[in-house]
Amino acid sequence: MPELGVILLAAGQGTRMKSALPKVLHPLGGKPLFLHALGTAQRLCPARAAVIIGHGAEAVRQAYTANDVDWLIQDRQLGTGHAVLCATDAFRDFLGDVLILSGDVPLIGESTLRALVEHHRSKRAAVTVLTALLQKPNGYGRILRGRDGTISGIVQEKDAGAAQRQIGEVNAGVYVASAPFLFAALSSVKNDNQQQEYYLPDIVAVGLAQGKSIETVQVADAREMMGVNTREELAFMEKSLRETINRKWMLAGVTLKDPDTTYIDESVTIGKDTVIGPNTQLRGKTVIGERCQIDGSAFLTDMEIGDEVQLKFSVVMTGSRIDNGAVIGPFAQLRPGTHLGRNVHIGNFVEAKAAEIGEGSKASHLTYLGDVTIGRDTNIGAGTITCNYDGFKKYKSKIGDRVQVGSDTTLIAPVTLGDDVYVATASTVRHDVPDGALVFNPREEKVRAGWTERKRQQMKGSKK
Ligand code: UD1
Ligand code: CA
């Protein structure tokens, strides 16, 4: 069987996006647009793969971490045909078939690509074009067919006459071509058209003139071939991708109380019988266990969450780990590097950053825990602050097991509280406290009888 190669076109600016960011880097489902088609193509295990880059080349290249593709530069964006020509040298010794994909056609399915390659090979065609029948073909190149129904060319919308614009069958921008034919044909494609570009689909006309066999395959589900040219199309696709992802998780046993307002990145995983409330965004590499309950308005990025964890209404969490049975929120924030042990409770208006909190410990109200290690079964009172920053450097605090930190305590880091320490309310702790000790700041409490009335009289007098 001939070898399979892949060329993905990703050099264009995406003028219609009106953006400083190259179009193929706009995120869809949490990852750059072009990585969708590239990932799908890689599942066909091609013998070689190349991405044509130009606009924002370095940034586009940085977006892909594996090193199994060649990055080929198209200096000036003279059209899709010219873009493929930039792969001539890289494919000089390649005699197999080349699958050509657009970086802005993200939802193309693996089985569609396999069917396209299979058809191409069974017909021994020079080129096989993926097409689609659309109700609204606007914006796409149209497929021209002769009386016998075979393809006779592809015309771009801008070059099409009124009658041609009525045609509903469009070019999906996905092709398989035999490599030697492809590069030879492209070298004879001209740019004498409305946009003065070298059009890749013009290889169809070149092939027909040479008497080659040109084939088409119609995509079963037209949603797969939708291209992204504007932000409106991006939003539409985001919605369609979101529906697919949400459906997958519901079928896998996850309850989404309001799928319309649930946003789950492709890279997220969720365990069975977890219940997710409205306005929830699960992003990045977030992993959620089984039987968790997310009340709603949760914004989670790169989180690792065990089983039976409860996130009460409105939480923001990033890059942290939560063990089984923990309860967080409402209105809490976990910043990167935090680890909550089993059954930890984090209550309202608590912020934790790089905090290691042991099993069964609690911080129920109005607290900042930054750069701190806390043992087991410790209780952090309302209004406790770890003062980890002196304006120059950050310092760590350490709090032992079974510690009782009274409300309104400030811990001036670096500081260590041993096990079983008792911190009296409204303490400022500057020095290490040994196991089992009480720490308090002696302050005399004074009461002045009748003070308020005297003050009011005095103020009245001063107004005159
Ligand atoms: C293209 C097709 C059109 C098809 C549609 C399907 C051409 C001339 N037209 O139109 O028939 O219906 O896709 O979505 O091919 N690119 C480069 N270098 C360039 C120009 C483009 O790498 O010089 C890349 C872009 O980054 C993009 C892809 O090629 O990923 C398609 O380019 P785009 O300008 O979006 O083509 P369309 O106008 O959508
Ligand atoms: Ca396009």
SS3 73: strand
- Determine contact, residues 241/263, Cβ cutoff 8 Å: no
| 463 pLDDT tier (thresholds 50, 70, 90) | confident
Task: Give the residue numbers marked as catalytic.
Answer: 365
| 174 pLDDT tier (thresholds 50, 70, 90) | very high
- Determine contact, residues 315/328, Cβ cutoff 8 Å: yes
Phi-psi region of 124 (alpha: psi -120 to 50; beta: other; left: phi over 0): left
Ligand 1 atom 28: residue of nearest CA = 102
pLDDT, average across residues 158-181: 97
Ligand 1 atom 30: residue of nearest CA = 103
pLDDT in tens, 408-443: 999 999 999 999 999 999 999 999 999 999 999 998
Q: What pLDDT shows up at residue 443?
A: 86
SS3 83: helix
- Determine contact, residues 387/410, Cβ cutoff 8 Å: yes
Q: Give the start-end residues of each E strand in 113-194.
A: 127-133, 142-145, 151-155, 169-178
pLDDT, average across residues 250-258: 98
β-strand 27-28 against 127-133: which pairing, if any? unpaired
Contact 32 CB / ligand 1 (< 6 Å) = no
Q: What pLDDT shows up at residue 309?
A: 99
Contact 130 CB / ligand 1 (< 6 Å) = no
Question: Among the atoms of ligand 1, which is closest to the Cα of residue 171?
Answer: 12
What's the 120 CA to ligand 2 centre distance in angstroms? Answer: 23
Using alpha carbons only, what angle is made at residue 358 by residues 356 and 363, rounded to the nearest 5 degrees? 85
pLDDT in tens, 15-52: 999 999 999 999 998 899 999 999 999 999 999 999 99
What's the 66 CA to ligand 1 centre distance in angstroms? Answer: 25
What's the 170 CA to ligand 1 centre distance in angstroms? Answer: 13
What's the 331 CA to ligand 1 centre distance in angstroms? Answer: 46
Which amino acid, residue 329?
Answer: G
Ligand 1 atom 10: residue of nearest CA = 140
Round to whole Å and give the CA distance between 167 and 347. Answer: 61
| 464 pLDDT tier (thresholds 50, 70, 90) | low
- Determine contact, residues 110/17, Cβ cutoff 8 Å: no
pLDDT in tens, 327-372: 999 999 999 999 999 999 999 999 999 999 999 999 999 999 999 9
pLDDT, average across residues 98-125: 97
Contact 52 CB / ligand 1 (< 6 Å) = yes
Q: What pLDDT shows up at residue 462?
A: 84
Contact 246 CB / ligand 1 (< 6 Å) = no
Ligand 1 atom 35: residue of nearest CA = 229
Round to whole Å and give the CA distance between 165 and 199. Answer: 18
**DSSP H/E element including 165:** helix 162-165
Round to whole Å and give the CA distance between 300 and 209. Answer: 57
